[in-house]
Chain A
Amino acid sequence: MEEKARLANGKKKLGVGRRDRYIKERKVGEGTYAVVYLGRQLSTSRVVAIKKIKVGQFKDGLDMSAIREIKFLSELRHENVIELIDVFISSGTSRSLNLVLEYLSADLEMIIKDRSVVFTAADIKSWMRMTFAGLYHCHRHNVLHRDLKPNNLLLSPSGHLKLADFGLARKQPGPYDVMTPTVVTRWYRAPELLLGSKIYTRKVDVWAVGIIFAELMLRTPYLPGQTDLDQLDLTFRALGTPTEQTWPGVSLLPDFFYDTAKTSTADTGKKSGIYPAPSRDEMRMRFSAASENALDLLCKMTTLDPAKRIDTRDALGSEYFRELPRPTQPDLLPKLRKKDDTANEVKVGSNNTGFSGALRRREKDDISTEAEKERERRLAGVAKRLF
């Protein structure tokens, strides 16, 4: 205890100024590891989000996701990455660690879901460009995000898109370092992860962005699997089952159990899980509004073999971003209409606060109301029509 007092005292000279610079105004969300407050930076009156890390009475130390978030956000400064403004320890009876993040009012998922918002091809291009710019920045710094999905792409009041929730982020490991394949929310999980690969690259992020791209065009999730197995089946049904020819080495992945020697027809597909790759016409039908260049990019991003999948740099330089229409300027992008207070909710990290939200399945939260159930039904219909 004496030690504590000493540390606290030693802190005074540095801590005081810092601590007093923020006030928490109201609680806006709570997750397993953190509570999020809307707050204000006193010196500038800037509105901020304060993510207070809960501590299990100091039992187990800081959660890895908290560490990762601090570690990467303090290093990655970019227009399209959420800004970590400060980290401080709050005083009072329960000491806790607080991350001060920039305040962002909405996320891409809210926009996609809100049927009253209409958006154009130029808007989609603008969001895609900002996502890629942010992701390119991460990848250039050897950081894998590993949890990209629409509700981790936050939107500032000025329309800028920012990558958030780095609770699962990691630096690109060495060629032989194994990592867990259970990352990325299921619907956005790349096939190499679904097949249990423990060695993977930044291409898993590219895949996720590809699926988000498709979702922006369809206005509904592209590959909404119910279970991990279902996800794999859905992915292959949509994009074809990989073979040693299309993806060298695929049959060596831990969870690959397809007998690709069998002929693939629609009939046997149901049983064996072997589907043909979609034709270009098939893709055109699926994404009727997409330009040829948009389709090209989408196909390159959702290439099953990660080695052949496009990287962020080439994607940014692709024809799609050069052809007309030009991306919409951020401040002219469609926004949520403020219906009620909920539109004001702070979004920090994954849905309402969660460090833990990282792996949480989105559908769980979604099927809460009748309207949502209806949406799920329609969605299943879409999937059936498509594939």
Chain B
Amino acid sequence: MAANYWLSSQNRHWRFTRQQLENIRLETESETRYSRPELGDPRHLRIYFHSLIQSLGRHLSVRQQALATSEIYLARFYVRTSVQETNPYLIIATCVYIACKMEECPQHIRSVVSEAKSLWPDFITHDPTKLAECEFYLIEELDSFLIVHHPYRSLIQLSKALGASGVNVGLSSDEMQTAWSVINDSYITDLPLLYPPHVIALTAIYMSVVLRPPPVAAQAERAKTRLQKIMDWFAGCGIDLEAVVDCAQEMISLYDVWESYSEKTCRELIARVFSGRRG
């Protein structure tokens, strides 16, 4: 993709500090014409949306990369628009539709609509014009910045660097897998709006290495030296360790919140918001 993250629109236009993000959201909320429903922890809703994207993606057999891109679009969209003003199911279908085109694996609008309709019959009509119209709004709302950088590539590069001779602390395939899932889950949080992709990739590595279940006692010592080596390497590459720690905390608290997540509650909540608006 556009090779240089630092010059990209993602860095220049779609990266915030926590404070900025908070302010924009407050402003968005204050302009809503609908009273804010009892959304509970906003992260529950984010988890729900994440699962919606994943299931639509599975039904359409969409590539991981395109799904990741659609998650970013969704996160960006809801920074400036409040959920209760929209039909999230339509927005999600549109995000997936545009992301597929963007990542050069286009899906026909009709197949997106029909899959979405079969998944969420109460919220999606079979008429593709709605989605096509929504596409316009989404592009405008994203300020027409469509190229997105993901942490996956950084993860692969970093793991290569760790495995290189001299460092010799390459990640096992299990650890890679864990890191990969951490990145998948990071899209539920605000991290992609706050940190550059390589920081998220580092966080994923950090978490997969540190949070491993403690190995059997015999290996404990070896694991410890290995961990130390990795941490030294982290420190040596001059990255912002505080940022990594911040990301890791965000992820850990996400997993905490996940414990109390109920898909049913979220589904009903959205349905209530939707029917309340209609009435």
Interface residues of A (CB under 8 A from B): 2-4, 6-7, 9-11, 13-15, 55, 57-62, 64, 67, 70-72, 74-76, 84, 87-89, 95-97, 140-143, 170-171, 173
Q: How far is the CB of A19 from chain B (nearest CB, A)?
A: 10
Query: Is B174 interfacial (CB 8 A cutoff)?
Result: no
User: Which of B1, B80, B129, B146 is A59 in contact with, Cβ under 8 Å?
Assistant: B129
**Contact at B104–A170, with CB atoms within 8 Å?**
yes
Q: How far is the CB of A67 from chain B (nearest CB, A)?
A: 5
**Contact at A11–B102, with CB atoms within 8 Å?**
no
User: Which of A11, A143, A170, A173 is B140 in contact with, Cβ under 8 Å?
Assistant: A11
- Residue in B90, B102, B278 whose Cβ sees the most chain A Cβ within 10 Å: B102
**Between A and B, how many residue pairs show CB distances below 8 Å?**
109
**Contact at A62–B132, with CB atoms within 8 Å?**
yes
> Which A residues are CB-close (under 8 A) to B97?
61
**Contact at A61–B140, with CB atoms within 8 Å?**
no
**Contact at A142–B3, with CB atoms within 8 Å?**
yes
With contacts A67-B101, A75-B9 taken as known, whether A59 is within 8 angstroms of B128 at the C-beta atoms is yes
Size category of the binding interface on chain B: 35 or more
- Residue in A57, A61, A72, A143 whose Cβ sees the most chain B Cβ within 10 Å: A61
Query: Is B242 interfacial (CB 8 A cutoff)?
Result: no
Q: How far is the CB of B207 from chain A (nearest CB, A)?
A: 27
Interface residues of B (CB under 8 A from A): 1-4, 8-9, 31, 33, 80-81, 85-87, 90, 97-98, 101-102, 104, 106, 108-109, 128-137, 139-141, 143-147, 278
Task: Considering the complex, give the chain B residue whose CB is closest to the CB of A77.
Answer: B7
- Residue in A14, A58, A96, A171 whose Cβ sees the most chain B Cβ within 10 Å: A58
> Which B residues are CB-close (under 8 A) to A3?
86-87, 90, 130
**Contact at B104–A141, with CB atoms within 8 Å?**
no
- Residue in A7, A62, A70, A141 whose Cβ sees the most chain B Cβ within 10 Å: A7
> Which A residues are CB-close (under 8 A) to B131?
61
A-B contacts besides A15-B140, A75-B147, A171-B1, 20 pairs, CB < 8 Å: A3-B90, A6-B86, A7-B85, A10-B86, A11-B137, A57-B129, A58-B132, A59-B109, A59-B128, A60-B128, A61-B109, A64-B101, A70-B146, A71-B147, A74-B146, A87-B143, A140-B3, A141-B4, A171-B2, A173-B104
User: Which of A14, A72, A173 is B80 in contact with, Cβ under 8 Å?
Assistant: A14
CA distance A10 to B4 in the complex (A): 33
User: Which of A13, A74, A140, A142 is B144 in contact with, Cβ under 8 Å?
Assistant: A74
**Contact at B109–A95, with CB atoms within 8 Å?**
no
> Which A residues are CB-close (under 8 A) to B143?
87
Q: How far is the CB of A173 from chain B (nearest CB, A)?
A: 8
**Contact at A71–B146, with CB atoms within 8 Å?**
yes
> Which A residues are CB-close (under 8 A) to B130?
3-4, 58
Q: How far is the CB of A177 from chain B (nearest CB, A)?
A: 8
Task: Considering the complex, give the chain A residue whose CB is closest to the CB of B110.
Answer: A60
> Which B residues are CB-close (under 8 A) to A171?
1-2, 104
Task: Considering the complex, give the chain A residue whose CB is closest to the CB of B85.
Answer: A10
**Contact at A62–B135, with CB atoms within 8 Å?**
yes
**Contact at A58–B85, with CB atoms within 8 Å?**
no
> Which B residues are CB-close (under 8 A) to A6?
85-86
User: Which of A10, A61, A96 is B135 in contact with, Cβ under 8 Å?
Assistant: A61
> Which B residues are CB-close (under 8 A) to A60?
108-109, 128, 132
> Which A residues are CB-close (under 8 A) to B128?
58-61
> Which B residues are CB-close (under 8 A) to A64?
101, 106
**Contact at B9–A58, with CB atoms within 8 Å?**
no
**Contact at A13–B3, with CB atoms within 8 Å?**
no
Q: How far is the CB of A174 from chain B (nearest CB, A)?
A: 11
List the 3 closest A-B pairs by CB distance, nearest first. Answer: A58-B132, A87-B144, A58-B129
> Which A residues are CB-close (under 8 A) to B146?
67, 70-71, 74
CA distance A75 to B132 in the complex (A): 24
**Contact at B9–A7, with CB atoms within 8 Å?**
no
CA distance A202 to B148 in the complex (A): 21
CA distance A71 to B2 in the complex (A): 10
**Contact at A59–B132, with CB atoms within 8 Å?**
yes
> Which B residues are CB-close (under 8 A) to A70?
139, 144, 146
Q: How far is the CB of B215 from chain A (nearest CB, A)?
A: 36
Task: Considering the complex, give the chain B residue whose CB is closest to the CB of A67.
Answer: B101
Task: Considering the complex, give the chain B residue whose CB is closest to the CB of A173.
Answer: B104
CA distance A95 to B140 in the complex (A): 12
User: Which of B8, B31, B104 is A75 in contact with, Cβ under 8 Å?
Assistant: B8
